[in-house]
């Protein structure tokens, strides 16, 4: 090390035999990895706090109008909600496996795990699409357009504050859906980089951080599922 420093000024970026992915302002890959991970966790708690706003709205309105929430939640499709829960949990497993494989230098398995995650995320969105359109057909819109009619939705028209439930339902699942879409984009990008062999057991920060993000999306859904569909 010392001889390296003697030949080049300490301020240049290429003075040590550092790996290519080590940025100049870090001392070691260890430091870089730890920093990225802590940064990701901090970002995740901002996401949690973002959803906290909607959880508060849910708690307040549920406490004020429990009957309306009960009547409204039974019109949601419990079966589809449960299927979607299992789909997301499985996608969490596959993304965890992709990290497991990349840590063992099994790039191909890691790649296919990510592709599986991507496919499961797609299934989730398709099911969500069918749920939404089924609602829209019967005038279940968020907000001022709310006008329930037909089938099991007819009685909702006479219950006050049912619209609040559906507003919260659409906003919560909508923002969650946006996160799923963003996550799919990131996973696709990371999968392509894994395919091109950018990562291995010595450097897999991006894969791990993507995994953390995807698990958070899963955790949010773990709470949305019972709150909206079950109780």
Partner 1 sequence: MSTDASAAAVHAPEEGAHGEDENYLNHETGLWSWLTTRDHKRIGIMYCLSLAVVFFAAGMLAMAIRAELIAPGQTVMDADTYNQVFTMHGIMMVFLFLVPSIPAILGNFVLPLQIGAKDVAFPRLNLASWYVYMAGAIMTIVALVTGGVDTGWTFYTPYSSSTGGGILWMTAAIFVAGFASIFTGINFIVTIHKMRAPGMTWNRLPLFIWGLYATSIVQVLATPVIGITMLLLILEQSLGIGIFDPALGGDPILFQHFFWFYSHPAVYIMILPAFGILSELIATFSRQRIFGYRAIALSSVAISLLGFMVWGHHMFVSGQSAVSSIIFSLITYLIGIPSGIKVFNWVATMYKGSIWLQTPMLYALSFLFLFTIGGFTGIMVGVLAVDVHLHDTYYVVAHFHYVMMGGSVMALLGGMHYWWPKMTGKMYNETLGKIAVALIFIGFNLTFFTQFILGAQGMPRRYYDYVEKYAPLHELSTYGSWVLGLGLFLVLGYAIHSLYWGKKAPANPWAAATLEWTNVAALPDPHNFLRTPLVTRGPYDFHLADEVFGGGDGVGDGRAATAGTLEAPKPAPSAPEPQESH
Partner 2 sequence: MSQGHHIIPQRVLLGVFGSLIVLTGVTYGLAQINLGVLEVPVALAIASTKAVLVVMYFMALKYDNPVNTLTFAVGVIFVGIFITFTLFDTAFRGDIGNVSEQTVREIQREEEELQRRQEALTPEQLRVAPADFENAEPDPEAGTGADADRGGSSGGS
Which residues make up the interface to partner 1 (CB under 8 A)?
Answer: 1-2, 5-6, 9-11, 16-18, 23-31, 34-35, 38-39, 42-43, 45-47, 49-54, 56-57, 60-61, 142-145, 160-161, 163-164, 167-168, 170-171, 175, 202
Taking CB within 5 to 8 Å according to partner kind, which of partner 1, partner 2, none is near residue 20? none
Distance CA 221, CA 82 (A): 11
Report CA-CA distances (Å) from 110 to 59, 90, 116, 166, 195. 40, 15, 10, 39, 9
Q: Give the angle 165-152-74 at the CA atoms, nearest 5°.
A: 45
Taking CB within 5 to 8 Å according to partner kind, which of partner 1, partner 2, none is near residue 163? partner 1
Distance CA 198, CA 183 (A): 20
Taking CB within 5 to 8 Å according to partner kind, which of partner 2, partner 1, none is near residue 126? none
Distance CA 41, CA 212 (A): 8
Taking CB within 5 to 8 Å according to partner kind, which of partner 1, partner 2, none is near residue 158? none
Residue 28 vs 78, nearer CB to partner 1: 28
| DSSP output for 92-104 | HHHHHHHHHHHHT
Q: What minimum distance in Å lies between the beta carbon of 56 and partner 1? A: 7
Which of 177, 203, 202, 178 shows the shortest CA–CA distance to 190?
203
Residue 5 vs 78, nearer CB to partner 2: 78
Beta-ladder partners of 222: none
Binding site for partner 2 (CB under 8 A): 30, 33-34, 37-38, 41-42, 44-45, 48-49, 52-53, 55-56, 59-60, 63-64, 78, 82, 85-86, 89-90, 92-93, 95-97, 100, 103-104, 208, 211-212, 215-216, 218-219, 222-223, 225-227, 229-231
Residue 5 vs 31, nearer CB to partner 2: 31
Q: Give the angle 137-140-143 at the CA atoms, nearest 5°.
A: 140
Residue 97 vs 140, nearer CB to partner 2: 97
DSSP conformation class of 203: B
Residue 63 vs 158, nearer CB to partner 2: 63
Which of 198, 77, 95 shows the shortest CA–CA distance to 135?
77
């Amino acid at each position: 090390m010392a001889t390296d420093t003697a030949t080049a000024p300490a301020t240049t970026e290429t003075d040590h035999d550092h790996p290519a992915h080590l940025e100049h302002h870090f001392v070691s890959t260890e430091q870089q990895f730890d920093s990225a991970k802590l940064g990701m966790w901090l970002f995740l708690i901002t996401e949690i706090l973002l959803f906290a706003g909607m959880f508060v709205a849910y708690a307040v309105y549920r406490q004020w109008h429990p009957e309306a929430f009960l009547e409204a939640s039974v019109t949601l499709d419990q079966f589809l909600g449960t299927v979607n829960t299992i789909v997301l949990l499985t996608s969490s497993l596959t993304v965890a496996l992709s990290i497991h494989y990349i840590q063992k230098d099994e790039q191909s398995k890691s790649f296919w795990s990510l592709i599986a995650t991507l496919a499961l995320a797609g299934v989730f969105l398709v099911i969500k699409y069918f749920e939404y359109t089924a609602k829209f057909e019967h005038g279940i819109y968020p907000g001022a357009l709310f006008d329930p009619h037909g089938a099991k939705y007819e009685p909702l028209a006479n219950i006050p504050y049912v619209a609040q439930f559906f507003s919260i339902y659409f906003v919560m699942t909508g923002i969650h859906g946006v996160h799923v879409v963003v996550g799919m984009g990131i996973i696709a990008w990371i999968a392509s980089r894994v395919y091109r062999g950018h990562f291995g057991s010595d450097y897999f920060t991006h894969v791990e951080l993507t995994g953390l993000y995807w698990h958070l999306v899963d955790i949010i859904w773990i709470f949305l599922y019972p709150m909206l569909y079950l109780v």
